[in-house]
Structure 1
């Protein structure tokens, strides 16, 4: 895994964490709202 890919993963994880805290949901609940296509790299 390259350094850029590691940074991308950290960024996505951070976004999921922030969204979960702002909406008072668990991370798993936040992820359920996204489809696989939403999460895949474009």
Structure 2
């Protein structure tokens, strides 16, 4: 089974949280993720 996990790209969004101890860790507001149909 193939499941699409990300089908959109977010440009010019504000990062709401980050974890400096984890490379690549950011938090993006759930409302933005819902608006572009990206799964959590």
Q: TM-score, normalised by structure 1?
A: 0.26
More strand by share: 2
Q: Which has the higher contact order (CA 8 A, sep 6+)?
A: 2
